[in-house]
């Protein structure tokens, strides 16, 4: 049966603003892929990221380039050969997962998870700001068991201190988004250890992180921008202790499963993370994250308005998706 496919740019307002070391944003800009076959419809959402040379129009154009193949029945394996890893392939891959689930009457988690999925504790992101601003954010979220704190400036000691003091019972992940330098990383690592930080994410720029091999890791270090697929992993041995898997980097759930399994086999810890998107983008990642060491799927918690239907968040617990949303 012939399929129909479309790609739509959508925008969802963020509650306040979201700021990291590279800049700030006030809305989530996403591309949604919809594939229909008969009475069944599958959807996938991606978030183009300029850090990787992506834009809304470029990603939508990439999806449009494979529409003839999708209409003729190209499956997820074929799509891996048609599109490079990245946001466009993620949207198409996840839409195909959703469609396959609905056509077959089989929940996606049956093929992703070793056991029935359960609610997971996700981190909540504290945006980069002044120490006082970040302390206020932390106090408002001090009830949450896990906070992900955006840093990445020349001197983050005061920020780390402010957040740790304002949320003393929360575990903390620091995310520098490539913002630290060889000159300040040792000091920042020691500060992180002093305040019992659990994990540090991508402290140095991709390709400029060789120093991580020769300095102590008093706090485990997680690769984000430095890892996109399984081919990246070998060169990260000795540099990083864990990897952050995001569907928008790997190019979908199909490739993310391969990356997760390969990372585990090499001894890396696993974080499953996200861009700032809606529940539709988080849904497949919730299934991938069932055995993750760290879960960072708080995109919908940062929005002023999510999709409907949406994932169910209870405090920091995110439940697996209902089929009406995805899978």
Q: How confident is the model at residue 144 (pLDDT cuts 50, 70, 90)?
A: very high
What CATH number has the domain bearing residue 192? 3.20.20.120
Residues 121 and 269 in one domain: yes
Report the catalytic residues: 150, 246
Residues 90 and 68 in one domain: yes
Residue 1 has pLDDT above 90, yes or no: no
Distance CA 140, CA 77 (A): 44
Residues 90 and 126 in one domain: no
Q: How many domains does the chain have?
A: 2
Whether 324 maps to a domain, the answer reads: no
Write out pLDDT tens, residues 145-171: 999 999 999 999 999 999 999 999 999
Whether 314 maps to a domain, the answer reads: yes
Whether 131 maps to a domain, the answer reads: yes
Residue 96, CA distances (Å) to 104, 171, 220 in order: 12, 36, 36
Residues 89 and 125 in one domain: no
DSSP state of 322: P
Residues 94 and 135 in one domain: no
Residues 202 and 230 in one domain: yes
**Matching residue, tokens 């990246």:** 232
In this prediction, residue 96 carries a pLDDT of: 98
Whether 327 maps to a domain, the answer reads: no
Whether 80 maps to a domain, the answer reads: yes
Whether 176 maps to a domain, the answer reads: yes
For 218, the domain range is 112-318
Write out pLDDT tens, residues 306-323: 999 999 999 999 999 999
Residues 60 and 177 in one domain: no
Residues 56 and 179 in one domain: no
Residues 209 and 298 in one domain: yes
Whether 78 maps to a domain, the answer reads: yes
Residue 173 has pLDDT above 70, yes or no: yes
Count CB-CB contacts under 10 A for residue 184: 18
Distance CA 99, CA 34 (A): 9
DSSP state of 176: -
Residue 132 has pLDDT above 70, yes or no: yes
Residue 255 has pLDDT above 90, yes or no: yes
For 59, the enclosing helix (H) or strand (E) is helix 56-65
Q: For residue 274, count CB atoms less than 10 angstroms from its CB and return exposed for 0-12, middle for 13-18, buried for 19 or more.
A: buried
Q: Please say which residue of 84, 110, 136 terminates a domain.
A: 110
Take residue 262 and report the two structure tokens written for it.
Answer: 């390969």
Q: Please say which residue of 63, 85, 110 terminates a domain.
A: 110
Write out pLDDT tens, residues 199-245: 999 999 999 999 999 999 999 999 999 999 999 999 999 999 999 99
Whether 325 maps to a domain, the answer reads: no
Backbone angles phi, psi at 59, to 5 degrees: -70, -45
Distance CA 30, CA 63 (A): 13
Residues 129 and 62 in one domain: no
- Comparing C-alpha atoms, which of 42, 44, 50 is closest to residue 88? 44
Residues 102 and 33 in one domain: yes
Residue 105's SS3 state is coil
Please state the pTM of the whole predicted model. 0.95
**How long is the chain?**
327
The torsion of the CA quartet 173, 174, 178, 182, rounded to 10 degrees, works out to -120
Q: How confident is the model at residue 26 (pLDDT cuts 50, 70, 90)?
A: confident
What CATH number has the domain bearing residue 68? 3.30.390.10
In this prediction, residue 22 carries a pLDDT of: 67
**For residues 92-101, average pLDDT:** 98
Q: For residue 277, count CB atoms less than 10 angstroms from its CB and return exposed for 0-12, middle for 13-18, buried for 19 or more.
A: buried
Residues 106 and 229 in one domain: no
Whether 160 and 137 have beta carbons less than 8 Å apart is answered as no
Q: Please say which residue of 110, 132, 167 terminates a domain.
A: 110
Whether 206 and 224 have beta carbons less than 8 Å apart is answered as no
Q: How confident is the model at residue 21 (pLDDT cuts 50, 70, 90)?
A: low
Take residue 303 and report the two structure tokens written for it.
Answer: 């929005």
């Amino acid at each position: 049966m012939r399929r129909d496919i479309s790609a739509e740019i959508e925008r969802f307002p963020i509650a306040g603003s979201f700021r990291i070391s590279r800049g700030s944003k006030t809305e989530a800009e996403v591309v949604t892929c919809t594939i229909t076959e008969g009475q069944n419809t599958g959807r996938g959402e991606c978030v183009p990221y300029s850090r990787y040379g992506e834009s809304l129009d470029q990603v939508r154009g990439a999806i449009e380039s494979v529409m003839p193949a999708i209409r003729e029945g190209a499956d997820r394996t074929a799509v891996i050969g048609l599109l490079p890893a990245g946001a466009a392939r993620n949207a198409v891959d996840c839409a195909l997962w959703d469609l396959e689930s609905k056509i077959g009457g089989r929940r996606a988690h049956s093929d992703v998870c070793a056991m029935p999925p359960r609610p997971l504790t996700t981190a909540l992101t504290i945006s980069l700001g002044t120490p006082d601003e970040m302390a206020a954010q932390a106090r408002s979220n001090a009830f949450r068991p896990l906070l992900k704190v955006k840093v990445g400036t020349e001197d983050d000691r005061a920020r780390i201190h402010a957040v740790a003091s304002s949320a003393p019972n929360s575990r903390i992940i620091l995310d520098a988004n490539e913002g630290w330098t060889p000159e300040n990383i040792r000091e920042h690592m020691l500060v992180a250890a002093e305040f019992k930080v659990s994990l540090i994410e991508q402290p140095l720029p991709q390709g400029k992180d060789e120093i991580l091999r020769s300095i102590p890791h008093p706090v485990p270090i997680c690769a984000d921008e430095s890892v996109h697929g399984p081919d990246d992993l070998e060169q990260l041995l000795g540099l990083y202790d864990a990897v952050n898997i995001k569907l928008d980097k790997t190019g979908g759930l199909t490739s993310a499963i391969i990356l997760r399994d390969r990372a585990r086999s090499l001894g890396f810890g696993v974080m499953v993370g996200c861009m700032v998107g809606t529940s539709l983008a988080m849904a497949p990642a919730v299934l991938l994250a069932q055995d993750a060491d760290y879960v960072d799927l708080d995109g919908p918690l940062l929005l002023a308005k999510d999709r409907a239907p949406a994932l169910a968040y209870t405090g920091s617990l995110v439940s697996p998706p209902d089929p009406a949303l995805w899978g």
